[in-house]
Structure 1
């Protein structure tokens, strides 16, 4: 739809009117509690849009909000933002206080632990007051002179949003390839910098997949992926030679099945460039190219088969393969010689399948193999000496934690770098000698302002779901917390795509804990905390288990008097926002307030529309509603379709105009329908960031403004304003 000047000026005048109303109310509201009746809430126009499939017609009154080029849509979003600002005006000073509190815990001048890769030590650092990192390196030793490869603060100037989507250095250490996104649609412009001269090369490639870049051995050929601008899926792999026109770049592979996501990289051994096609938890396929032969052809490691997932690591003259073949639901480890990979008869078992252990990942070294394994919801690191075959697990000593293998580019070392955190332990980086078992803390995230981890308590609980399954809950609170139902609690979960939400530390979260809140992570089905079956039983036609688990965890926390209905809050984002929408339709009485971030709430309409980014790749997660069985099931839980005339809890919904994952119109339509149907007088707010996308604001500290808004919303509902 083309813009016209008349509509444009109408839009500006209307926005000015809204802002005038907002400003006129400011003085009046300074002494009032957060009150939705202070100003009339926006009312979205009703424009019925019937949609019929399988003999069933749904009427979407707010379908028109999909057109971001329509000034009426922008007008409505701006009115919602003005309304949110007005209702939350009494918390404005509190939000600023929370922001400064959170920012004050952060060590502004900080840097990461250097990692040796080839002849250089690479690290990133922040300067005082800087929003973005500086990416640096030192040659040969940490005492050498610093080279600043990229200055994020300088590059970000003039942009309301900025993000560097990963970088790759050529094998001769001279050319830096990096991606830049200034819109938050995750379309990265690939750029090149000569690290010897500081020159930014003329080569520039738009709409690439950030971070998915792979150099060939010749130091002039690079492979990259281009995103389809309709689906926003990376579907094509190109080869570019520095100094040549990008118009002459060669298409080396195109993924024509829109249900497959793609990845691109290089093996740790640097021998192979790999292209990965993954069918969202259903099947995968690797293609390999010898990095010394950039103009050669990619060969298939093993052709894709529906139901077979595999992941590879190169080692010497063979590959390790993590695979679910032969009904190994939790995966097993196999090995196969180079040149014999396409016949599974050549694959030899190294680690068998185990029903109670999920094989999550692996890291290969010259003399050691490290496995990431999940058991009883926790990550374990298993070290195997490849020479002696002796093995052991690293001990972490806490009831709930998150441990993972960090970046380990050095193949020859016997030192494993891993990351560790828990609900009470700030993110930490350790170097671990796999022979002597000596562990050295390289860095613990600094938390300023007098933080002492011993002031807080973490527990691992288990709620019994309605079908008898035990659902883990990780919880943290400050000492002195009373388990008599008198204190507030924020419950969080995600529960989709097999993504496991492990117990992690948050400095910002202390602002809740220090004000009497407990924070709980419900490890519901849909993730993989308890193994692959945990995921399989929380997707497709079993998706409702995710919602039931969350509700049953809530009831357990209330029953055990960690909180009560009038003090329980819920939070989730993206697919976790879908979770929030489902639970308030099913059990609105359980929650005092809910924060739904970038929520995927219009499930049926989105999954029927193949023109919407990412839709086709999601069918194996949610089902394809073009099939009636999935349509009926989706419709039975889709938050947007199930809004009713009844009371709902207080609700803050956030979105971003440029969101490429969950389009802004889903939460906007949801809020509009809730406004029209809900029968309560509780707070219902929509905040649309007009400059960002799925991840919210960019920058190190800007994000705290979003968190401060959410916390102020929750705390205010408990009568806490300082």
Structure 2
């Protein structure tokens, strides 16, 4: 679809909102000295989220933002279309878990906002609703679940309104009633698991559930809980205090799991690093007063994943292999230097491994497509899993009992599809149980996908994915939306998005910059976007943005830049370094004040990725990646909308808020800067109504600012 953007549309929008009277933000200068670099921050007082003055300020900013956004036409149309696209996709499913003849899974019906827990009888296909979170507590969402080995109990992890501080309850499958046990607080990403007899459950406990406490993500403990007893009687399996010999750092989190054969207990000391210390002990020691852990992996071993079967220790490592290799050594006497290499490094990147009962599976990716391979654990024979082209993920239905796999295939323009795979017969078939009745249009007939590479500031070629309407006229008059991430070695691989498909329908070009800091090209690609080299992340993004302009996909006044979470460094520094390159910026729950974020609960966790303020060399580069301190008074910045979830504990709300207010009080462009504070959200949420409302507001704002005719407020 082609739109002509008339100058009068832009004039009308500027006349309508000629003056932005933002809520007043007091300037209370505070100066920090970073090894001789003195930086003044006028808004540190906003970091006290318990302060009534700060609470009032956030509410005033939220109300003001909505007073502006509510005047933008067709926001409701965007929301309604997102709902329609959700319904066109049919019901959506999570990965299933199998116990006996039953599949357990969460499903969001096409016309509902939350996932509910269901079972399906494999022999009859009968589906049964097991649990609806809306019957539990207001705003409750199922974050994760696990089942005991006999299928009698389900442990459900619940979050509230996007918060990741969760509580765990145990549901009796027969009575569908909760046991008295309540385990809390637990972070949303941590695993929990029943012992094989179903009498105990292992989990990681947070030191506090206070979202405003600086101890929120520190001093965690791996625990074992006897079902039917009080939580205060739980036994510590691993912690900094009780197990000082393990050298656990305050900000690291110990996580316990069992091997598939239940012969060993595994203790991993987690962090934002992928390379973590790992210990093991015989399963028989689980009820000992104190477990004698034996270390099998050090961080310096450069191992990111393991699979243990008996005395076999399979591992995924980037030691001398930046694209990764899979090796095999002994659990009882590991020797990684002389280990047997099962899958050597190649030009593609091995991204992950996981197991079924008799096979190990690995993913091999070039950053844009990802294939699956299987390794026979007895013969070590390797075979490719026959799945369609695209990004292929997989998960075992029950890795302890069988070899059946649930696979998921996705592409930019093809909605995700589940496949069932049996390695014994080598056949992958489209799942008859876990795909919704889709009525999507044929997006491949409407849009093109171009995969290209762009030369960055230092000559490095950066992958760029561009999705655009067919028969587009390359004259620079089309709005475009470019996003990227660039952190923790996480790749931004092709995936279909209901939300972004609605942007495509507005005639908007979509682009994804696969910047350094991600994992698209292996471990070196990640390292080249860390710490001292972090500037490559936003400079790659700028180069990709410039490419869209030079090739006349769009022009600066029509270009929307986006980044979320760690991508806040990317978009924050892109619009402060090149404010002339973007018509609008979207900063979603973004890390924009790294100099102060290390004072937050999640701050110490980020040190392995971005560096420490206690290190003079790291600090030099942290100052460079701090977007807030780069905002200059009187500079003409693009229109910016900064979102934060008021229940967010990863990126504390004050961090994006400070970035918004310093832009408000510095920009001379006359373009709006809004703080979108969502009181129903955290870092993210599974509530589709909250998601669609937020994105319809944010997208409408951005489309207004790049001159899209459907989103221009009427002249008064």
Q: Structure 1 length normalisation: TM-score?
A: 0.88
The one-character-per-residue Cα deviations of 1:576-635 (angstroms, maximum 9, x if unpaired) are 12211100111111111111101111111223x2xx212222111111122221212221
The one-character-per-residue Cα deviations of 1:328-364 (angstroms, maximum 9, x if unpaired) are 33332122344334x546733222334x332211233
Q: Which residue of 1 aligns with 2:178?
A: 200
* Cα shift at 1:485: 1.9
Q: Which residue of 1 aligns with 2:222?
A: 237
Q: Distance in 2 between matches of 1:425 and 1:251?
A: 46
The counterpart of 2:504, out of the listed 488, 496, 513, is: 513
Q: Which residue of 1 aligns with 2:63?
A: 82
Q: Distance in 2 between matches of 1:535 and 1:166?
A: 29
* Cα shift at 1:61: 0.9
- 2:708 is the counterpart of 1:714: no
Q: After superposing the two structures, state which structure 1 stretch, 296-305 or 172-181, moved more.
A: 296-305
The counterpart of 2:550, out of the listed 524, 545, 559, is: 559
Unaligned runs of 5+ residues in structure 1 are 1-30
Q: Please identify runs of 4+ aligned residues in structure 1 that moved more than 6 A.
A: 31-34
The counterpart of 1:249, out of the listed 221, 231, 234, is: 234
* Cα shift at 1:375: 2.8
Secondary structure class of the residue paired with 1:634 = helix
Contact 1:414 1:434 in 2 (8 A): yes
Q: 1:67-106 counterparts in 2 under 5 A?
A: 67-91=48-72, 93-106=73-86
Q: Distance in 2 between matches of 1:270 and 1:423?
A: 40
Judging changes above 3 Å, is the alpha-carbon distance between structure 1 residues 690 and 701 closer, same or farther for their aligned structure 2 residues? closer
Q: After superposing the two structures, state which structure 1 stretch, 384-393 or 555-564, moved more.
A: 384-393
Judging changes above 3 Å, is the alpha-carbon distance between structure 1 residues 349 and 238 closer, same or farther for their aligned structure 2 residues? same
* Cα shift at 1:434: 3.8
Judging changes above 3 Å, is the alpha-carbon distance between structure 1 residues 345 and 492 closer, same or farther for their aligned structure 2 residues? closer
Q: Distance in 2 between matches of 1:150 and 1:271?
A: 33
Q: 1:248-647 counterparts in 2 under 5 A?
A: 248-255=233-240, 256-281=248-273, 283-291=275-283, 294-296=286-288, 297=291, 299-306=293-300, 308-325=302-319, 327-341=320-334, 343-344=335-336, 347-354=339-346, 356-375=347-366, 377-385=368-376, 391-394=382-385, 401-410=390-399, 413=402, 415-434=404-423, 437-442=426-431, 444=435, 447-448=438-439, 450-607=441-598, 609=599, 612-645=600-633, 646-647=635-636
Q: Distance in 2 between matches of 1:350 and 1:259?
A: 34
Judging changes above 3 Å, is the alpha-carbon distance between structure 1 residues 395 and 554 closer, same or farther for their aligned structure 2 residues? farther
Q: Structure 2 length normalisation: TM-score?
A: 0.88
Judging changes above 3 Å, is the alpha-carbon distance between structure 1 residues 152 and 129 closer, same or farther for their aligned structure 2 residues? farther
Judging changes above 3 Å, is the alpha-carbon distance between structure 1 residues 647 and 388 closer, same or farther for their aligned structure 2 residues? same
Secondary structure class of the residue paired with 1:64 = helix
* Cα shift at 1:392: 4.5
* Cα shift at 1:273: 4.0
The one-character-per-residue Cα deviations of 1:503-536 (angstroms, maximum 9, x if unpaired) are 1111222222122111011000000001110000
* Cα shift at 1:288: 3.2
Contact 2:396 2:405 in 1 (8 A): no
Q: After superposing the two structures, state which structure 1 stretch, 669-678 or 264-273, moved more.
A: 264-273
- 2:112 is the counterpart of 1:124: no
Q: Distance in 1 between matches of 2:519 and 2:421?
A: 26
Q: Distance in 1 between matches of 2:285 and 2:150?
A: 16
Q: Distance in 2 between matches of 1:133 and 1:649?
A: 38
Q: Which residue of 2 aligns with 1:703?
A: 691
* Cα shift at 1:221: 0.9
Contact 2:116 2:142 in 1 (8 A): no
Q: Which residue of 1 aligns with 2:642?
A: 653
Q: Distance in 2 between matches of 1:686 and 1:167?
A: 35
- 2:195 is the counterpart of 1:216: yes
Q: After superposing the two structures, state which structure 1 stretch, 677-686 or 412-421, moved more.
A: 412-421
Contact 2:450 2:465 in 1 (8 A): yes
Secondary structure class of the residue paired with 1:708 = helix
Contact 1:38 1:87 in 2 (8 A): no
Q: Distance in 2 between matches of 1:376 and 1:175?
A: 40
Q: Distance in 2 between matches of 1:453 and 1:282?
A: 36
- 2:678 is the counterpart of 1:689: yes
Secondary structure class of the residue paired with 2:365 = strand
Q: Distance in 2 between matches of 1:705 and 1:361?
A: 34
Secondary structure class of the residue paired with 1:137 = strand
Judging changes above 3 Å, is the alpha-carbon distance between structure 1 residues 190 and 547 closer, same or farther for their aligned structure 2 residues? same
The one-character-per-residue Cα deviations of 1:350-388 (angstroms, maximum 9, x if unpaired) are 22334x332211233455432212235542322345566
Q: After superposing the two structures, state which structure 1 stretch, 413-422 or 94-103, moved more.
A: 413-422
Judging changes above 3 Å, is the alpha-carbon distance between structure 1 residues 720 and 383 closer, same or farther for their aligned structure 2 residues? farther
Q: Which residue of 2 aligns with 1:42?
A: 23
Q: Distance in 1 between matches of 2:605 and 2:652?
A: 16
* Cα shift at 1:478: 2.3
Q: After superposing the two structures, state which structure 1 stretch, 129-138 or 531-540, moved more.
A: 129-138
Judging changes above 3 Å, is the alpha-carbon distance between structure 1 residues 364 and 658 closer, same or farther for their aligned structure 2 residues? closer
Contact 1:121 1:142 in 2 (8 A): no
Judging changes above 3 Å, is the alpha-carbon distance between structure 1 residues 336 and 116 closer, same or farther for their aligned structure 2 residues? same
Judging changes above 3 Å, is the alpha-carbon distance between structure 1 residues 319 and 372 closer, same or farther for their aligned structure 2 residues? same
Q: 1:107-122 counterparts in 2 under 5 A?
A: 107=87, 110=91, 112=93, 115-122=97-104
Contact 1:364 1:370 in 2 (8 A): yes
Q: Distance in 2 between matches of 1:282 and 1:390?
A: 27
Contact 2:221 2:253 in 1 (8 A): no
Judging changes above 3 Å, is the alpha-carbon distance between structure 1 residues 195 and 432 closer, same or farther for their aligned structure 2 residues? closer
* Cα shift at 1:36: 4.0
* Cα shift at 1:404: 1.6
Judging changes above 3 Å, is the alpha-carbon distance between structure 1 residues 435 and 449 closer, same or farther for their aligned structure 2 residues? closer
Judging changes above 3 Å, is the alpha-carbon distance between structure 1 residues 451 and 231 closer, same or farther for their aligned structure 2 residues? farther
Contact 2:96 2:397 in 1 (8 A): no
